Structure 1
Amino acid sequence: MWKSRFSEDTADVVLKFTQSLDMDWHLAEADIKGSKAHVKTLASAGLITQEEEKALLTGLDQVLDEIKSGKLEPLIKLEDVHMNIEARLTEILGDIGRKLHTARSRNDQIATTLRLFLREQLLEIASKVETFLESILDRAENHMNFVVPGYTHLRRAQPISMGHYWMSHFWAFARDFSRLKAALEALNECPLGSAALAGSTFPLDRHLSAKLLRFFKPTENSIDSVANRDYIADFYHFASLFLVHCSRLAEDLIIYSSDEFGIVQLPDAFCTGSSIMPQKKNPDVLELVRGKVGQVLGSYMDLLIMLKGLPLAYNRDLQEDKRSLMNVLQTLHGILDVLPPLILKVEIDVDGASKAFEDGFILATDVADYLVLKGVPFRKAHWLVGNAIKWCLNEGKNFLDLSLEEWRSLIPQFDEEILENLNPRSSVERRKTYGGTAFSEVMRQLSEGKKIIEEVEKFLSLWPEDVD
């Protein structure tokens, strides 16, 4: 369709090298939706007749049916999804089919197609993220009253509510949803009508095109329209942080379900065994979640490196933006399909978690805080408690073994009052600062989390149904 200027046919090796069908055939439905809007805009401008408009719309529907049924197989010699669709349409309609590309370039065509496709994908991902958030909220609510060890530096630190632990992940993923919202809003402008880079000499109503395709508005600058891939970077920014947070959650669950920690139990249906060791229960799903994240981070960098060296406006390099994009989308969908049902079946190993409290050292901060309330400067209290721990380690004792007399010999300010509160549950309950681990605070967080879910539902309801 563009060879009239050339005196030689394109070499076969060039066709194989430059084709993009392995990436963009997935965009066929979105491309046809964009073409149908373009047809209506052409008719509105008087560039085609009503009969031609009807024929083109019917023909495009036929091409889509043939693609969905597998009857139409793309040809490499036609390079990409756009040319294959147009070629088939021309076979069906003859010269009328050749009018489809009036006032349009493949530059603004792919920019529009890609935004349509990605918008649909991100809305589906947003719905899955909502389900994911609900699964974490469910565990937080069910596990709120369980007390487990909290960690810093992967060492026992202080007792926490397990609900508080789950909510720590919830808030990270809620922030990720805000980034997803921003990515959706960033891509929701319509490039159609920008043509190759300079706009069109034909009287196209770009606001009509945007309305037909349910974009917020047309893009502002035709050069920027065909060169802009920032919205993909915005999506990658969401995807990268979201999956980093998924990886962190997966790492926690892998560690905390191990025999050495024994805090949580993973569902058998989401684990595998060993081909040689009969006793093994391997967290393969979580390991794969953790392992796949690097690919997405690499895709983000791949796009940024591509964009940083390109002059305006369109360059063929941009064809490669879809290769990584398809992989990222596949990874995201896969992880969002498998994590929520896994999380909903994670349970607490009460016996395993209680072992972390047997020596009582996890309550050291509580003892120091108690001394502060008795008038001891915090640094002195910290030293006194640390010295008491050292004595216990040397004597083979732990905090829960010590008598009141032994406590007083180590810390003169110690009295019976602290003994009554020297247990993990009271330690948790006393931490009532806003955002703390006290059960009342976890309840408040749960309430706020449910409001977040309602906001997500409202946001998704505001988006129109898919374009016809």
Structure 2
Amino acid sequence: MPKIWSGGASREGSIDISDLMVEDDTVIDQNFLEFEALALIAYHLEIFREGLIASEDSVSILRSLLLLLDRDIVLKPELEDVHGNVEEFVIRNSGKAGDNLRLFLSRNEQIHTDIRLYGRSRLLELAFHSAEISEAALKKRDEFSGSMPGYTHYRQGMVVSVKTYMDYIAAIFENSATEMLETARKMEYLPLGYGSGFGSLSDADFSKISESLGMSPVPVNPQYLSSRRGIDEADILYPVLKLMINISRISQDLIMFSGDEIPLFNLPDGFVTGSSLMANKRNPDFLEMLQGYASEQIGSFNSLISLVANKSSGYHRDFQISKKIMVRSLQRSISILKILPEFFSGIGFDAEASGNIIKNSSYATVNAKKLFSEGHTWKRAYSEAGRMVREGQELEKIKPGDATTITSENLSSIKDAIRQEISRYDDISDKLIALAKKLTVSN
């Protein structure tokens, strides 16, 4: 089959290097198929309005793109990517009219558009899951009571309430939901229209195309926007990466806090495994795998930003690796976040065991505070508490307060905002498809 670039100055050689050049591009690009079709529908609706090609050709192309959205097609590796596959499908269904499918378009601006549309969609999905996890942690915060040891340097430091600890977990996921929502909203500029990075030769009005896709017009300088390739993938993944790092740290806590030595929490069945030899084991394999996936994503992110470093301005072929890193990282994160509400809903807290584990010395700081409130200087109060610990004197067990900040009302507001964004983009897609269908029926 002819490549999308067949007919240009470059010719195919006798050696097949497709495995190195495109590898699993079509597997990754399968995720972009819907967004590719929607962007092309928006483009050709504007081409029809402006009469840039014969109206019957525009109608034929739009009809093929609508057919593509209704078909569950699998991209063919020999056509290299989503662009080549879509072009082949449209030409096969539209005949010669399909030759103008990609009128003055570059694959660079097309895949960049797909990346932004796909990344925006997945960030909103992740944001919603993150808010749901926060709600699950919040329910446990309100259910649990009692105190637990607080650790620094893997040593007991102060006593903290379990409500404060669960609120900490809820806060991580609430803040991540907000950050991912904000990042999704920042994916506002439409790359379609910068050509190969030097401006488009198309006479289509890209400001109207941008509006029809719920995005902003291309900034004045096309080289700047094209230079965002790779950086955009990093921007999309950064809030997700930070959340995965926090998930890894929570996992480390719960691995320690559910073990034989510090049995504060009980992990739910289904998230622990047994040993093939030792019948007594309840291994925290799920949490350990979360830590492994977090480490994997850190490595992938470092690979991503390394790809775009030390490059001249303009597109480079190895940037295609960045889309693979982005897609796989987002897919893995979605699969993790989907099941975390059930995990947190199933954990238990053993207040009695926790109370027995707390060392009396962990009350030193709060006892120093009490001495200060009784008139001692802070330095004297601190020293006196230290002396009591050194001499093994019993410190007063002063119950910690609850430092809680997360509310169900705020979480509901965040979820509503995420739903509104998802609904807005769904409405945009539905409107585009409806306009295309109306045009193809009436012509």
Partner of 2:113: 112
Paired-residue identity, %? 25
2:355 alignment counterpart:
354
Answer with 1 or 2: which has the greater Rg. Answer: 1
- For residues 28-427 of structure 1, the aligned pairs below 5 Å read 28-66=33-71, 68=72, 72-143=73-144, 145-229=145-229, 230-357=231-358, 360-392=360-392, 399=394, 422-423=396-397, 426-427=398-399
Aligned partners of 2:100, 2:32: CA distance in 1, in Å? 21
Q: Distance in 1 between matches of 2:10 and 2:39?
A: 33
Contact 1:34 1:213 in 2 (8 A): yes
Matched residue SS, 2:92: helix
Q: Which consecutive unaligned segments of at least 5 residues does structure 1 have?
A: 393-397, 401-421, 429-437
Equivalent pair of 1:186/1:231 in contact (CA under 8 Å): no
Separation in structure 1 between the aligned mates of residue 381 and residue 390 of structure 2, nearest angstrom = 14
> Normalising to structure 2: TM-score of the pair?
0.88
CA distance in 1, matches of 2:388, 2:201: 85
- Indicate conservation of the 8 Å contact 1:239/1:296, yes or no: no
2:186 & 2:69 partners in 1: Cα distance? 28
Matched, 1:18 2:21: yes
Measure how far apart 1:459 and its partner are. Answer: 4.5
CA distance 1:110–1:219, change in 2 (3 Å): farther
Match in the other structure for 1:419 = none
Report the CA distance shift for 1:5/1:281 in structure 2 as closer, same or farther (over 3 A).
same
Q: Is the 8 A contact 1:37 1:209 kept in 2?
A: yes
Query: Structure 1 pair 80/14, CA: closer, same or farther in 2 (3 Å)?
Result: same
Q: Is the 8 A contact 1:194 1:200 kept in 2?
A: yes
Residue 15 (structure 1) shift: 2.3
* Aligned CA distance change for structure 1 residues 458 and 182 (closer, same or farther; 3 Å): closer
How far is the alpha carbon of 1:274 from its aligned partner?
0.7
Structure 2 Cα separation of the partners of residues 202 and 364 of structure 1: 72
- Residues 421-446 of structure 1 show CA distances to partners (whole Å, capped at 9, x for unaligned) of x33xx431xxxxxxxxx24x53xx24
Alpha-carbon distance in structure 2 between the residues aligned to 1:317 and 1:285: 34
Which moved further from structure 2: 43-52 or 119-128?
A: 43-52
> How far apart, CA to CA, are the structure 1 residues paired with 2:372 and 2:114?
65
Contact 2:134 2:171 in 1 (8 A): no
Quote the RMSD (CA, aligned, Å): 2.2
Deviation at 1:8, TM superposition (A): 4.6
- Amino acid corresponding to residue 19 of structure 2 in structure 1: K
Q: Distance in 1 between matches of 2:184 and 2:20?
A: 32
Greater RCO (CA < 8 Å, at least 6 residues apart): 2
* In structure 1, distance between residues paired with 2:96 and 2:303: 41
Q: Is the 8 A contact 1:244 1:293 kept in 2?
A: yes
Does the 8 A contact of 1:75 with 1:84 survive in 2? yes
CA separation of 1:220 and 1:209: change in aligned 2, threshold 3 A? same
- Of 286-295 and 211-220, deviating more is 211-220
| Structure 2 spans left out of the alignment, 5+ residues | 431-443
SS of corresponding position for 1:270: coil
- The whole-number CA distance in structure 2 between the counterparts of 1:461 and 1:63 is 28
C-alpha separation between the residues in 2 aligned to 1:6 and 1:189?
32
Q: Secondary structure at the match of 2:160?
A: strand
Q: Which residue of structure 1 aligns with residue 436 of structure 2?
A: none
